Structure 1
């Protein structure tokens, strides 16, 4: 088939990003393009045929396969392919062949790179790196290490309170951290000095250790500013030491936050923390969809939005635990409430059910069981009232199976690892996302490390987990590279959660298992897997970019539904997307399918 320059120019002018180019640049591209015909079954590029440029499908169908020969996309007219190899200096991990008689337009590599340099629209379209959205830093994005005072006032435990007070006066600060060999032991504030020393009539020679708050709440330098604000509002404190492990590295106070505007999520956290019942909390959590829409409109990244929304669920859970203890009395033995699922990963959106469990100290007796049954029912009922509906699979602490002493939980994990049947794979997948919410954290710490070590060392269990992680596949098919839902309420839609976010969540969990990584959050797992070498830098970058695009598309979809007065869901109509958006979304799904193929072939990394 012969295409005139005018025909090529007309074809390109109807495709993004060529429709945004300067006329002179578009003209030069049209002149440089080489029409090529391929018969059915002909290879376009691959191991024996090097990639020489960017291909655009004029007519026909093209199948793209990954390095293992697994089909990842079927492309039709107006679709482009091959750019990933051009962005990797000509090295491509995919191959392509014609399915039907096909006419392709080849843009040579040198002209592709010239267009990347000269056209911002072209560069944005083909460069998959998704840099953080620009904007003024706020508490939702700034890290604690940027907020904290790096040389907090300190003293030894034996320091007299009078001398400590003199130090605080001379330094014009309202607190002093008590340390021993660099490790934080406690904190004393002006309130402690007035309320415990002066009002209590203590001698000025009293050791500071007697009036300090021992083992205070702390945050790591990697926490974000909203973590500080939420902790202060929920716990009614004004000073938070910052520690790297046990070592004190800084402190954040209320005055450190005054130059930043509090995000609206902090208001919800504060209201929930001071609520007297689940019904009161429900009036607050009902505003979460509107909060999501506001955060999306503000240009916040998806991991910031889901973190802030999850903070609200965490606060509601801890408040319900406190209300339960107020009603039932003090717990007979230590316990730990943990979240799994999206709350465990800190990835909640505008729609979330509850997934949780209860670890109880091994000193628990049969006589203690009714207390914890009542506590679990109180909290699960309260969460349901707040809109975190009961788990359809009954994976909640109100179910006796998920409310057990630590020794039983150890037996659970050991059994799942030794006998990885389908149920064990499913349960292990959920439980590897556990995150402590309220109670005694030591009940989980040793068990988490022990379980990761045993699981990663069992190759059969890992293989079963890998197989289980590949059950959710991206929606790639025949229609412009997408496979939509064929029937029912969501016909002709794609499920951005089940077929977009979940496959990445599953992959990240496998990387965490292989690397014995303790992170539960998906983005954090991908970063840790890349840093530890479990995932290659190029594979990690590509998968993170794909995850970012899909997760942000999901939140933008939910925000649009909220603004229109509809209930948010995960089902997206492709008709709502532009060619530009469809192309990027398809490429993101191709990345995920390629990474699934790599894991399925026994490789934890790609590229």
Structure 2
């Protein structure tokens, strides 16, 4: 071999992923390459270029910028640029410039495509694209208007003025302090100055006046002990979500040592963001009729549209949608109970599927059930049938369509005692029929919403104790998770629906979000994890070593970006006067979204491959 070619071979042999090529392939590679020199500051590739060769930095360094001018990465000796342009249709989408005088080795397209036949090379470039996906996730969370109102930190909202009281003081003294200081709550401190509790004007009304307690009652007897707190660095949006989810209006703010620094109230958040969904939840609680609830629910799409143009992640937007849906469910249950009278036996109204996972989008249908106390008799059936019918009909009026598969509490099949539910889950686990897999996709994601939550939680604990041992069931669930592949073709093209009313669109829910949800569910059920949210399930799987930590992080990024595209599409549909759906026409996506969706789908497909190799598919005949 000529000395110059031998030097190039040695260079490739000392840098990943080329160092892992078979000897014969490595020997032949230098003859297929060319060299190109670029002076410092010169442009190597532009965003509108067509890329015909992989560029490997032999000496010097290059910077890669996106179309907005943001630095994506700096590539040093041994690194490469141009992968995206080789794997996807032009234009390239990035500008590459020489940071210093730079010498590049150009691997032509044909040679590069042959190198991808070798697993170490293809895996290396998949990882490179995963890193780019992570950068893309951060990019889409930048406000279209340059604002970041909902990402304000609570530290910027608290005044530092603390109004406190000793737990041994009386409620009369507490009320006088609130009046004098013109506040609606007091922080209760122990003798060491640590936060012991919180006392609000609502506590005084509900726990003192309504209960006819004497004014000499101590604060310690009626306060909320060990309240939820936030750190100074927490975003205001986190405060908002906690208030929505827990139905509270005051959150103490503490420093790193746990010492109280102030208080954030719902009023503070309302001043911060007038279009806050907190208004929506508060309005839901004030409604006395289904008509009023429907009018409030109709405002949700515009709020989602606003949020997706702010610095808010898809996960947080979904939590807001879920919080509003939860509030509507609870209010409908309360209105029905007010009309029907008290329930004859304890019960729990549960939500299933995406709402249970806090991953709701716009236009989602109903998935609900009722868990009854084992003391329920046939004589109680009519009361619960009336409850279920009232709530189900009310949800339809509020914009939540009926479930096409009739998985709703209005169906007698899904109103069962706790013991009967155990039998249903046992049948699914022991005999994994297609119906069992449908049940797993809905009922194994379950969350209590109204009534006696312990009925649901006890049932979940018992079921999750069995799932790790149900190997045939897990095998079928795994098979389903790896077969529902994302819409990515052989040559990384987006695969659209070929027939039906949604022809030429991408089913972003069932073929994008869905596979990630299924992968996470398999990991959770195989370990008996109580986690319900997809993100929590993947994070837990990584922490326990059931998933590679980097692979889990990549999958979380993929899930975030796919979910973002879905929510943005739904908001656009509503803005244009159409119903929200999950069918995205590729022509409505920009080059950036198309390219990053392909990256995300590639990460999902890789995760499916790993899952298929690690879980017990051998149980399936």
With structure 2 as the length reference, what TM-score do the two structures score?
Answer: 0.72
CA distance in 2, matches of 1:540, 1:310: 24
Q: CA deviation at 1:448?
A: 1.4
Matched residue, 2:108? 35
CA distance in 1, matches of 2:380, 2:189: 38
Q: CA deviation at 1:276?
A: 1.9
Matched residue, 1:431? 443
1:288-335 CA-partner distances (Å, limit 9, x unpaired): 222222211224211111111111111111110111011100112221
Matched residue, 2:337? 325
Q: CA deviation at 1:545?
A: 1.5
Matched residue, 2:126? 84
CA distance 1:126–1:451, change in 2 (3 Å)? closer
User: What SS does the aligned partner of 1:298 have?
Assistant: coil
CA distance in 1, matches of 2:226, 2:391: 26
Contact 2:370 2:414 (C-alpha < 8 Å) held by counterparts: yes
CA distance in 2, matches of 1:328, 1:215: 34
Superposition map of 1:592-607 within 5 A = 592-602=604-614
Contact 2:36 2:105 (C-alpha < 8 Å) held by counterparts: no
Contact 1:484 1:492 (C-alpha < 8 Å) held by counterparts: yes
Aligned pair partner of 2:240 in 226, 248, 251: 226
User: What SS does the aligned partner of 2:614 have?
Assistant: coil
Contact 1:18 1:26 (C-alpha < 8 Å) held by counterparts: no
Aligned pair partner of 1:12 in 51, 57, 65: 51
Q: CA deviation at 1:428?
A: 2.1
Contact 2:516 2:559 (C-alpha < 8 Å) held by counterparts: yes
Matched residue, 1:273? 285
CA distance in 1, matches of 2:354, 2:407: 13
RMSD, aligned α-carbons: 4.5
User: What SS does the aligned partner of 2:51 have?
Assistant: helix
Contact 2:33 2:107 (C-alpha < 8 Å) held by counterparts: no
CA distance 1:489–1:301, change in 2 (3 Å)? same
1:210-247 CA-partner distances (Å, limit 9, x unpaired): 6x277999689899222354368xx6x6446799xxx9
Please identify, of 403-412 and 509-518, the stretch whose mean Cα deviation from structure 2 is larger: 509-518
CA distance in 1, matches of 2:499, 2:285: 44
Matched residue, 1:58? none
Contact 2:157 2:264 (C-alpha < 8 Å) held by counterparts: no
CA distance in 2, matches of 1:86, 1:198: 63
Matched, 1:357 2:369: yes
Matched residue, 1:264? 276
Q: CA deviation at 1:408?
A: 1.1
User: What SS does the aligned partner of 1:280 have?
Assistant: helix
Matched residue, 1:46? 118
Structure 2 gaps, min length 5: 1-31, 38-43, 53-84, 617-621
Aligned pair partner of 1:175 in 186, 205, 223: 186
Contact 2:253 2:264 (C-alpha < 8 Å) held by counterparts: yes
CA distance in 1, matches of 2:155, 2:510: 34
Length, aligned pairs only: 529
Q: CA deviation at 1:46?
A: 2.2
Contact 1:501 1:547 (C-alpha < 8 Å) held by counterparts: yes
Structure 1 gaps, min length 5: 52-63, 67-81, 89-122
Matched, 1:534 2:573: no
Q: CA deviation at 1:441?
A: 1.0
1:378-427 CA-partner distances (Å, limit 9, x unpaired): 10110011110111101000111111111111121222222222211221
CA distance in 2, matches of 1:419, 1:148: 60
CA distance in 1, matches of 2:370, 2:439: 15
User: What SS does the aligned partner of 2:376 have?
Assistant: coil
CA distance in 1, matches of 2:161, 2:468: 38
With structure 1 as the length reference, what TM-score do the two structures score?
Answer: 0.74
Q: CA deviation at 1:143?
A: 8.2
Contact 1:335 1:358 (C-alpha < 8 Å) held by counterparts: yes
CA distance 1:517–1:147, change in 2 (3 Å)? farther
CA distance in 1, matches of 2:494, 2:473: 33
Q: CA deviation at 1:271?
A: 2.2
User: What SS does the aligned partner of 1:32 have?
Assistant: strand
Q: CA deviation at 1:256?
A: 5.5
Matched residue, 1:117? none
CA distance in 2, matches of 1:252, 1:230: 14
Superposition map of 1:371-450 within 5 A = 371-450=383-462
CA distance 1:369–1:226, change in 2 (3 Å)? same
Matched residue, 1:291? 303
Contact 1:344 1:433 (C-alpha < 8 Å) held by counterparts: yes
User: What SS does the aligned partner of 1:437 have?
Assistant: strand
User: What SS does the aligned partner of 1:487 have?
Assistant: coil
Q: CA deviation at 1:284?
A: 2.1
User: What SS does the aligned partner of 1:436 have?
Assistant: strand
Please identify, of 482-491 and 320-329, the stretch whose mean Cα deviation from structure 2 is larger: 482-491
CA distance in 2, matches of 1:161, 1:124: 58
CA distance 1:545–1:392, change in 2 (3 Å)? same
